[in-house]
Structure 1
Amino acid sequence: MSDSVRHDPASSLLRNRNFLLFWSTQFVSLFATSYYMIVLPLWIYRATGSYLHVGAVATVGSVVFILFSIYAGVFVDRHDKRRILVASDLIRAVLVLPMLLVSSVDSIYIAYIAAAATGAATAFFVPSQNHLITAVAGSGGLRRANALLHFSYSATLVIGPIVGGLAVTGFGYQVSFFANALSFVIGALGSFLVTLPAEPPAPAGRRPSFLDDARAGFRFVIRDGVLRPVMISQAIVFIGSGANATLFVLHLRSIGPAGIGIYMSAQGAGMLVASTVLSLSDRGEKASVRAIAYCGLALGVTLALFAWLTPQHLVVGTATIFTFGIALTVYGVETRTALQAFSPKELLGRVTAVATLISRGGAAVSILMGSALAAAVQPKGAIICCGAMIFAGFILLLFGTRTPVAPEMRLSSAGS
């Protein structure tokens, strides 16, 4: 990689053409997708009148994403990352439009096929995105780049559903589908226009088999003194909080949609504040497992306090969920930065795939566990139990890791 990219300090990231091009076009894509996630369930329910089909379509996409993640990680490590990004966005753009053909239960199979194919395409997009971020952000800008991407996610999470509702009301479903397809095309264009140096040719000789490459990724994660506790922390967070969306609604159902919206907006505001502060920070590239553990402790405490205080105490509950949003963002940025910086470039796709398996699998376990807890101790008790589990898990991680503070990140692996 050229020196102009490698040695860019974090303060110059916003003047980095490659990053700005990628970030801005992905912002557009995220924004459209965020309101599409409101439009699609409404469209499926309108066509079928079935909540089962609404949930099943979403589940199919997630399951296929998980099933393809390991293969996608190996494939991305072996091939041109930018081309994979462009192809996965264009494929997803095409897959949005067949959803318009779903008009009844008789045609619901189209939605399942499109959702499955979209999940597969997304499995290739995620590790490729991690590769591109490490390439365009440079040695001093990984944390800031991840913070800016998280800012985009937080902003679209707050604004996207509102825009989606207004779009459906004012323009109908069809416009929303075409807008989301166009947003993927814009994302693909941004990736295509990013200029990156040519990757070195693969070493001569027999290429390892797919299983050998996949095992190499798992072995590296298990043996690495920083990535291993980071992955454990992800399991703790996603198992403990993956069911939040459902449990929060059940817990707060007595105050109605408006009250629930206040709390969710407060969490989004906390995420926006944290991502903004992190994007402006220039404290250098250091990784700390201990700092990640402290964020996890904050997540556990604020989650349990939120359930305990709400809905009786609106102001304190709002402040608590605002703090939860801050801790969640800092945790997300720090873990993603650590995964990118401590993974050798040739293994980054596979390490990302392992993280995907842990996060998506943990969320699935959380939904099952949360439902069982809610049936036994009510949603409020279930959320408190999940918060306590996260807190206890990070106490063990904090005192059990042998590498509480890591020195400078392996920048040669992340950006060379």
Structure 2
Amino acid sequence: MRRYRLRAIGVLVSITFASCGEWIYLIALNLKVYQQAEQAAVAVAMLYMIKPAAGLLMNSWAGSFIDRMDNRKLMIGLYLIRVIGLMGMMLTDSLGQIYLLVFLVAAAASIFEPASLPYITGLIQKQHWQRFNSFRAIADGSGFVLGPALAGVLVGIGSVDMALLVNILLLLLAAGICLVLPSVKIPIEESGQRWIQIWRDDWKLVAAFSKKFAALTLLLLLFSCMTIMTAAVDSMEVAFASEAIGLSQAAYGVLVSVAGTGFIVGSIILSMVTRYFQAIQLLCYGAAAGAIGYVVFSFSYSFLSASIGVFVLSAALAFSNAGYLTYMQEHIPENQLGRMMSLYQTIESVLIIGMTAVLAGINAMTDVAIAVQIGCFIMLLIAMLLFYLSKRRSLSS
């Protein structure tokens, strides 16, 4: 049992390092591109299109080999690919080369999540899945709070490249921890078929599973819609805070810190109360509270009300994410998790790009406040439907 606990702690520490590094990378990359493009905002905006584009390209086929490989070795390889990409960014001054390297890092990151969930599912005992996911929320939240703060310090006393170097070190530490963890034996499907046929068969498998368990699929897709709306609204967050609320850059920085604090507080509360809830309750109740927080934020005209909104939505996010991961672990076979997650995320990436464009169009025709409010109301309607579905016996089992 002691060894089992050490392994679980090791995974959580690895997640914390990676999450902290991801936030450092995000801030440092924005600054590097902004400086390299001679302060052209459109150059930075293009970065936010690369991530869903990489997810769209990679997730459509990545699940086919995720479920057929040693996930621990795959995770280590993906960490090292991201390290290589970051090292390349430090050595180049070409904006085009930076974008290519960003795509490489985003591609590796998009594969990592569906690769890590099957590994964690096999490593952690079933009765501990939900509690582990509650602690995982704390690990993610720690990165959310520490990453931006550390990035600001590193850029302030050093340079953008110093921040990228620290990110490289954190990723290497995360990979090192994975190196000493055991492999998890997951059934590997042997087949003499050509790769294109395997890929087609996997799509058919996901379609058949989704059709057979229609209620489960509906719930997962609805939660994906919440994620889509969250990404679309978040893409307009800076403009909304500046134009609708009138916040300065310093005040917006404080608002981001409030969001990080909310996530940490929500994660701590979740770790204390998780035993009293089923996974579907965490998912649906968290989604409902998060949507309410977004609506409060969308109608804010002062720093105080905006802070209340982002604190609530961030705290609720810890509950809904933990519920979502646990619910997938409970209802999708371990040897199919990679394919299911990858192909669902492919659909998610398409819709994120489309919904972001729709809200941007609404913003162009009206103003940013109306666009954000429409997005938040759609989110609230989806959350209400999720809340209704949580009462159905077929989903609660």
TM-score over 0.5 for the pair: yes
Unaligned stretches of 5+ in structure 1?
Answer: 5-11, 409-416
Go from structure 1 to structure 2 and tell me whether the alpha carbon gap of 1:72 and 1:31 turns closer, same or farther (over 3 Å shift): same
Deviation at 1:38, TM superposition (A): 0.7
2:120 is equivalent to residue 123 of structure 1: no
Q: Is the 8 A contact 1:242 1:362 kept in 2?
A: no
2:210 is equivalent to residue 221 of structure 1: yes
Q: Distance in 1 between matches of 2:129 and 2:146?
A: 26
**Equivalent AA in structure 1 for residue 209 of structure 2:** F
Deviation at 1:354, TM superposition (A): 2.8
1:40-77 CA distance string (max 9 Å, x none):
12112222313333333443343122211131111111
Deviation at 1:167, TM superposition (A): 0.4
Go from structure 1 to structure 2 and tell me whether the alpha carbon gap of 1:398 and 1:257 turns closer, same or farther (over 3 Å shift): same
2:131 is equivalent to residue 144 of structure 1: yes
Instruction: Out of 81-90 and 166-175, give the one that drifted further.
Output: 166-175
Q: Is the 8 A contact 2:288 2:387 kept in 1?
A: no
Aligned to 1:307: 298
Aligned to 1:414: none
Aligned to 1:261: 253
Q: Is the 8 A contact 1:146 1:333 kept in 2?
A: yes
Go from structure 1 to structure 2 and tell me whether the alpha carbon gap of 1:263 and 1:393 turns closer, same or farther (over 3 Å shift): same
Aligned to 1:7: none
Look up the SS of the partner of 2:278 in the other structure. coil
1:94 to 72, 84, 96: 84
Aligned residues: 391
- 1:346-385 aligned at under 5 Å gives the runs 346-385=335-374
Q: Distance in 2 between matches of 1:266 and 1:45?
A: 25
Go from structure 1 to structure 2 and tell me whether the alpha carbon gap of 1:291 and 1:278 turns closer, same or farther (over 3 Å shift): closer
Deviation at 1:407, TM superposition (A): 4.8
Q: Distance in 2 between matches of 1:211 and 1:304?
A: 41
Q: Distance in 2 between matches of 1:33 and 1:102?
A: 20
Deviation at 1:295, TM superposition (A): 3.1
Q: Distance in 1 between matches of 2:4 and 2:69?
A: 28
Deviation at 1:160, TM superposition (A): 1.3
Q: Is the 8 A contact 2:266 2:319 kept in 1?
A: yes
- 1:13-412 aligned at under 5 Å gives the runs 16-49=5-38, 50-103=40-93, 107-200=94-187, 202=189, 209-253=198-242, 254-281=246-273, 283=275, 286-288=278-280, 292-311=283-302, 314-399=303-388, 403-404=392-393, 406-407=395-396
Q: Is the 8 A contact 2:83 2:168 kept in 1?
A: yes
Go from structure 1 to structure 2 and tell me whether the alpha carbon gap of 1:183 and 1:73 turns closer, same or farther (over 3 Å shift): same
Go from structure 1 to structure 2 and tell me whether the alpha carbon gap of 1:80 and 1:285 turns closer, same or farther (over 3 Å shift): farther
Deviation at 1:203, TM superposition (A): 5.6
Q: Distance in 2 between matches of 1:140 and 1:42?
A: 44
**Equivalent AA in structure 2 for residue 247 of structure 1:** M
**Equivalent AA in structure 1 for residue 297 of structure 2:** F
Deviation at 1:206, TM superposition (A): 6.0
Q: Is the 8 A contact 1:127 1:348 kept in 2?
A: yes
1:284-319 CA distance string (max 9 Å, x none):
78332x6533333333332222222332xx434422
Go from structure 1 to structure 2 and tell me whether the alpha carbon gap of 1:156 and 1:287 turns closer, same or farther (over 3 Å shift): closer
Q: Is the 8 A contact 2:225 2:348 kept in 1?
A: no
1:334-360 CA distance string (max 9 Å, x none):
112112221101210011113322443
Q: Percent of counterpart pairs with the same letter? A: 19
Deviation at 1:86, TM superposition (A): 0.9
**Equivalent AA in structure 1 for residue 5 of structure 2:** N
Q: Distance in 2 between matches of 1:232 and 1:198?
A: 29
**Equivalent AA in structure 1 for residue 309 of structure 2:** T
Go from structure 1 to structure 2 and tell me whether the alpha carbon gap of 1:158 and 1:46 turns closer, same or farther (over 3 Å shift): same
Deviation at 1:255, TM superposition (A): 2.2
Q: Distance in 1 between matches of 2:293 and 2:367?
A: 19
1:137-180 CA distance string (max 9 Å, x none):
21122122222222222222222112112101212233222222
Instruction: Out of 171-180 and 74-83, give the one that drifted further.
Output: 171-180
Q: Distance in 2 between matches of 1:325 and 1:394?
A: 15
Go from structure 1 to structure 2 and tell me whether the alpha carbon gap of 1:359 and 1:264 turns closer, same or farther (over 3 Å shift): farther
Q: Distance in 1 between matches of 2:227 and 2:80?
A: 30
Go from structure 1 to structure 2 and tell me whether the alpha carbon gap of 1:198 and 1:283 turns closer, same or farther (over 3 Å shift): same
Unaligned stretches of 5+ in structure 2?
Answer: none
Relative to the length of structure 2, the TM-score reads 0.88
